[in-house]
Amino acid sequence: MLNCLNCNAPLTTTQKFCGECGQKTALKRVNLHDVFHDAIHYFTHADKGIFTLLKSLIIQPGLVAKEYVEGKRKKHFPPLNFFLIVAAVYIVMGGITSKYSNTTLQRNTRENSYTSAPKTSMPDNFQQAESIKRMEKMANMGRFFSKYSNYVAMLAAPLISFLIWLLYLRGRYNYTEHLVANLYLIGFTNLFRCLIVAPIAIFLSIRSENRNVQLAFVLFEVVYRTLFYYRFMGEYNWAGKAKAFLVSAGTAIFWSALIGTIFYVYMRWG
């Protein structure tokens, strides 16, 4: 009698896969081919690879989350795995944008000092120093959010899920199911932010903390969340679409107000 090397379940000599865990019964010693094959398969598997997930999140927002919470678990890339992968990408891009922000701040500070130092009066010099101090604070805040963006995102998922669950209190899904949906949704919007928005901002020599950049991203997030929740909730009528928009706009206002309050407190008393 043979036993599965993964779960130790009993096997027959004719079995090709374990009936308990699904692992192959005929295994060779691990080699580099196996390692790379598993890695590529993990990302590109036709049914549940991450690229298939991204395609679905772009073309049919909300459908993956809807199918996942309704029982089609094996078909799709797991939501928490996707969220954590995006968090890792976010950390890398956060480091790049942070370096760019530091360079821009130093250049602006030198230019401001050079152009104003020899020909300004004492009050103007004081205002110049206050302006530079304020710029440094804003840069420090930007670096903080870049450095700890993964923690901010992890905090956003449960908070926003809870808010949406309250707004859809009479809806069909519980809090955990809304959390699953937002792991997909926030993961995708964060990926869009760090792979599309941040590089474009750097290319155009615009800091990612720029108000117009932030506003553009918030508008994108509201539109995408509206489409996502319209499909996720399955309320395919104008009332359902209007409710999805109001929930999305309310969520954006709540999160922007929370981040804005933290920013104000730091700038005022930090």
Q: Which two tokens stand for residue 161?
A: 């899920």
Position 7 in a domain: no
Residue 56, domain member (yes or no): no
How many angstroms separate the first and last alpha carbons of the chain?
69
What's the pLDDT score for residue 117?
46
Residue 222 forms part of a structural domain? yes
- Per-residue model confidence (pLDDT) at position 103: 55
| Mean pLDDT for the stretch of residues 152-180 | 88
Q: Tell whether the torsion through CA atoms of 96, 102, 103 and 104 is positive or negative.
A: positive
* 232 and 201 Cβ atoms separated by less than 8 Å: no
Burial of 225 (0-12, 13-18, 19+ CB in 10 A): buried
| Model confidence pLDDT, tens digit, residues 126-165 | 566 666 666 666 666 665 655 555 566 677 889 999 999 9
How much is the pLDDT for 24? Answer: 78
Q: Is 13 helix (H, G, I), strand (E, B) or coil?
A: coil
Q: Which residues of 43-59 are buried (b: 16+ CB within 10 A; e: fewer)?
A: eeeeebbbebbbebbee
**Residue 119, C-beta contacts closer than 8 angstroms, at least 6 positions apart:** none
- The amino acid sitting at 135 is M
| Inside any domain, residue 37 | no
Comparing 16-25, 97-106, 153-162, 228-237, the range with the smallest average pLDDT is 97-106
Residue (of 270, 101, 249) closest to 164 by Cα position: 249
With residue 2 as reference, give the H or E element that holds it. strand 2-3
The answer to whether residue 242 is domain-embedded is yes
Domain total in the chain:
1
Residue 31 placed within a domain: no
pLDDT at 7: 84
Show the domain range for 164. 63-269
pLDDT grade for 211, boundaries at 50, 70 and 90: confident
pLDDT band at residue 171 using 50, 70 and 90 as cut-offs: confident
pLDDT band at 109 (very low <50, low <70, confident <90, very high): very low
Q: 86 falls in which pLDDT band (50, 70, 90)?
A: confident
The reported pTM is 0.71
Sign of CA dihedral 50, 56, 59, 65: negative
The answer to whether position 120 is within a domain reads yes
H runs (alpha helix) in 117-174: 122-147, 149-167
Q: Judge whether 147 lies within some domain.
A: yes
Mean pLDDT of 160-183: 91
